[in-house]
Structure 1
Amino acid sequence: MLAPSHALLEGGVMDVPVISGTDTTQTTLSRSAKRRSRVRWGYSTVSWLGLAPFLVFCLLFEILPTLVILQSSFTDDQGTVTLANYQRILTQPSTLRAFQTSISLSLVSALISVVVGFIAAYGVYTMRTGWLRNLLIGFSSLAANFSGVPLAFAFVSTLGVTGFVTVLFKTWFHVNLYDLGFNLYNFWGLVLTYVYFELPLMLLITVPALSALRNVWREAATNLGASTFTYWRKVAFPILLPSLIAALMLLFANAFGAFATAYALAQGNINLVTILISFAVAGNVSVDVGLGNALAVGMILVLVISVSLYVFMLRRASTWQGR
């Protein structure tokens, strides 16, 4: 706002206009900045208060147990600091084979689940019948959480030596599946069992990721003369690749940490890290807590690598999903 000016009687020169509202404007801006800072600080405080129970939970049940396991892996039965536990892991063939078998089992089951699950997820995503799509997604949510001893018992009742499907094939077709080489209690039997609860999880992960594919991209590719195969090879698959790799890492971590299903089926016949840890810390003959903790630290390292790759690929995928 301009202040009224007047002429000097002697010099006849007009006074320079003075902006009288400058101080008021600066005061208003400072008050607005303080108000925004108070609102921002209040929002942050409320957010931290809401996040506090989760942070306490992570501290008590994730961070502290991990630190205890890490510290115990460097001590022996007398509490002396030592590297003998890790030396035994690197020198004993049984422990190295346990890691190899666990990684192979998790990777194979995850790869099968990614390939089959992606095809199933695309079919569910393009399904026009809404109630059937919701039914399949709901069933996948239940099947993805059906694991452990109940899942092992279900497979034994279905595909065991005297299981329903085994007896059915033998009665109707005079074919014994176990004479053909099938065995529920070996490596490939565990792969089949793991795929059961990983395939629905893959479907739940992939259906939202398919929403990143926009119809305009397909229309543009078609207008430029691209075939369906070319569209998937040069447009759709490169966009979905980070999501698929992230899903692979998540399924791998999920299978790598499984214990109850493998223990109930294999009964110790398959050398897995989780089963080896149970034998080390709760064995009937001897107890070796230090070795069990060292094996657990090895599992943590493998899971940290897989989860880190999962997070990295998830960020790449979020670029195309507009997040």
Structure 2
Amino acid sequence: MTATAVSHGTVPADSELRAPGRRVRRSSLAGLGLAPFLVYVALFLVLPTIIAIGSGLFAKDGSFTLASFAALGDPVIIATFGNSTWLSLLTAVVGAIVGALVCYALLGLSPTGFVRTTVDAACGVLAQFGGVMLAFAMIATIGIQGVLTRFLRDVMGIDIFADGAWIYALPGLIPAYLYFQVPLMVITFMPAVAALRASWAEANLTLGGTRAGFWLHVGVPVLAPSFLASALLLFANAFSSYATAAALASQGSQIVPLQIRTALTSETLLGRENLAGVLAFGMIVVIGVVMCAYALVQRRAARWQR
């Protein structure tokens, strides 16, 4: 065949004949590059989940049992899950609203400008800031002898610890969690806000609409799925947080992660050796439901961003 026949499609070119093989090789290389991540997921996510569930399903002698799950009906355990739920819900809602307002304020700035890039970098750092470092920062700022506490008490005459050391109890976790919840919201929600097209606002104004009308009829409905998905992510993040609570609220087990720590370290839980596994299973169920809802909402939110 001549080159003309090949160019008209009667005979495939050599590059077309080799294309399937190239695609197979590229797929193999892509799968090989994904292998370290799959190993990481298996070792640090799948395996601990299996061990946690298995420790609640098997007795000390290795026999299968469901008796350990009766602990989930204990009033103390129910109260612990309730505390984790309202704490996570409160910080997720407040963090989502404040983070969304920050995203709105950044919307008019250049993505490559100094302010926008500085805020993005700061949010990336602060969203991962927690544990002992965050607890120390909270204590040094608003602790009993913190800088802000002493300023308010000595200069303003306001004693924020008049009713007790609230920072070391459950209420103290609220500002601590918001410290990383708000930056996380900015990171996850800002791409959706930035994806709003300027042509939509221009079309709204051309047709006689107002700025408030644009947000009411276009902006808010379009961003609602992304906002809900980000709020669900914040809830899951707060519900599973441990290091900050363990460092700040060292006494008591007011939330589920701290209750799991007590179940693993206490020597007084006779006959309830599998309590930690049961609590971990309960947390996995809650986080699993939240993340499934997050995936469904995020799938819907991604439709208009394509």
Q: Does 1:173 align with 2:156?
A: yes
* Inter-partner Cα distance in structure 1 for 2:9 and 2:235: 60
Identify which of 85, 96, 99 aligns with 1:103.
85
Q: Which contiguous aligned blocks of 4+ residues in structure 1 show a shift greater than 3 angstroms? A: 29-34, 284-289
CA deviations on 1:184-232 (whole Å, 9 max, x unpaired) are 2333321111000111111112221112211111111112222222211
* Inter-partner Cα distance in structure 2 for 1:107 and 1:123: 24
CA contact (8 A) 1:86 1:294 kept: yes
Task: After TM superposition, list the pairs within 5 Å mapping 1:72-83 onto structure 2.
Answer: 72-83=55-66
Letter in 2 for 1:136: V
Deviation at 1:314, TM superposition (A): 1.7
Name 1:316's counterpart in structure 2. 300
Deviation at 1:123, TM superposition (A): 0.9
Report the secondary structure of 2:166's partner residue: coil
* Inter-partner Cα distance in structure 2 for 1:40 and 1:158: 57
Report the secondary structure of 1:80's partner residue: coil
Q: Does 1:115 align with 2:97?
A: yes
Q: Does 1:293 align with 2:277?
A: yes
CA contact (8 A) 2:170 2:254 kept: no
* Inter-partner Cα distance in structure 2 for 1:69 and 1:197: 27
Deviation at 1:319, TM superposition (A): 1.3
Identify which of 193, 209, 212 aligns with 2:195.
212
Identify which of 84, 92, 95 aligns with 2:67.
84
* Inter-partner Cα distance in structure 1 for 2:247 and 2:227: 30
Task: After TM superposition, list the pairs within 5 Å mapping 1:212-231 onto structure 2.
Answer: 212-231=195-214
| Worse-matched range after superposition: 78-87 or 125-134 | 125-134
| Worse-matched range after superposition: 149-158 or 68-77 | 68-77
* Inter-partner Cα distance in structure 1 for 2:217 and 2:164: 41
* CA RMSD, Structure 1 to Structure 2 (Å): 2.3
Name 1:148's counterpart in structure 2. 131
Name 1:13's counterpart in structure 2. none
CA contact (8 A) 1:186 1:270 kept: no
* Higher radius of gyration, 1 or 2: 1
Deviation at 1:135, TM superposition (A): 1.3
Report the secondary structure of 2:302's partner residue: helix
Q: Does 1:58 align with 2:41?
A: yes
Task: After TM superposition, list the pairs within 5 Å mapping 1:267-286 onto structure 2.
Answer: 267-286=250-269
Question: What percent of counterpart residues are identical?
Answer: 35
Task: After TM superposition, list the pairs within 5 Å mapping 1:42-57 onto structure 2.
Answer: 42-57=25-40
Deviation at 1:74, TM superposition (A): 0.6
Deviation at 1:308, TM superposition (A): 1.3
Change (3 A) 1:125 1:180: farther
**Structure 1 unpaired stretches of 5+:** 2-20
CA deviations on 1:275-313 (whole Å, 9 max, x unpaired) are 111111122444744111111111111111111122222
Deviation at 1:147, TM superposition (A): 0.3
Change (3 A) 1:166 1:78: same
Deviation at 1:65, TM superposition (A): 2.1
Deviation at 1:33, TM superposition (A): 5.8
Q: Does 1:134 align with 2:117?
A: yes
Q: Does 1:247 align with 2:230?
A: yes
**Structure 2 unpaired stretches of 5+:** none
* Inter-partner Cα distance in structure 1 for 2:170 and 2:268: 26
Higher relative contact order (CA 8 A, sep 6+): 2
CA contact (8 A) 2:124 2:183 kept: yes
Name 1:8's counterpart in structure 2. none
Deviation at 1:234, TM superposition (A): 0.9
CA contact (8 A) 2:253 2:262 kept: no
CA contact (8 A) 2:96 2:185 kept: yes
CA contact (8 A) 1:122 1:210 kept: yes
Deviation at 1:104, TM superposition (A): 1.0
